[in-house]
Chain A
Amino acid sequence: MHEVEARRREFVSEVARRAVGAVASEESVFFEPLAAQFVKRGELPRERRYADGIIASGWDTAVVLISPVALALANSLCNRLLDNVSDEVLKRGGHGLRRAWRMLRRADRPAGPAEVPDVSAGAVALRDQLISTARELGVPEEKATPLVDALLAAAEDLPAPGGPASKGSGTA
């Protein structure tokens, strides 16, 4: 069980890393420690304002960080995938998931709906939902869509979180 959970988190971390590398490369400086915190705790710490008494610089204009959003979205995506794909598919390992995902992707194309109409609708909804979540987390419109697309592309290239250990995962 722990191994499955570890793979799930590794999947999330890798998907988010690839997305951040594609959309906000300046955040790669601190992505590793942030992802390490996420992997360790399963969530990110809440945002803190500067506390009373510290020597902080004192001005407080917040910056929208992509990395925590990417991690959160990747986590959400992983959960969604795990919910949507049947246990049987999962038993077939990462290839099965990849096939399932490709079906989702194809379903999104104009020619595809005839083949797997139910899955196609799910893929579109998933993408929209992720974009909407990204917006809610403060990511501006012009960055939300590329981020979600990058996440989805990264997820497509990676083995399933619940399947056998991936080979060569982590390559962008």
Chain B
Amino acid sequence: MIKKTLTFALMDAPYESANLTTAFRILDAAARRGHAINVFAYEGAAALAFTRQSPHPNPVHGKNLAEENHPTTKDQVAALLAEAARNGGKIDWVNCGMCVDERGVNEFVPGTRRGSPADFQTFLDASDNTLVIPTK
């Protein structure tokens, strides 16, 4: 299979919309195929890789911490990076620096990095295709 370079721009914050579920599914499929993936995490999406996210128990569900096994996007980001590496690909995950500063989420999953719109421009110029999943 021909390996492509794919860029994704994400904008939604964690726990706000179904857009990120769709994005993670697409990213997972691309990572399993070993494509070179770029992610520009913009606006609320800059919090996706924030390492201080923590799961919680859910008294309404009647479940403790382990039973609820609440998803965190930081774990999903880490799993994506690992999946890409396992399949010979790579993910360059850039967290928009100013977005991160505004939100106080300047602690990232290892393997992701701080960046700027210039990184996104570089991604656009170097990619076979780009998918923007904007917030609405």
Do the two shown chains form a genuine complex with each other?
A: no
Taking beta carbons and an 8 Å cutoff, which residues of A are in contact with B? none
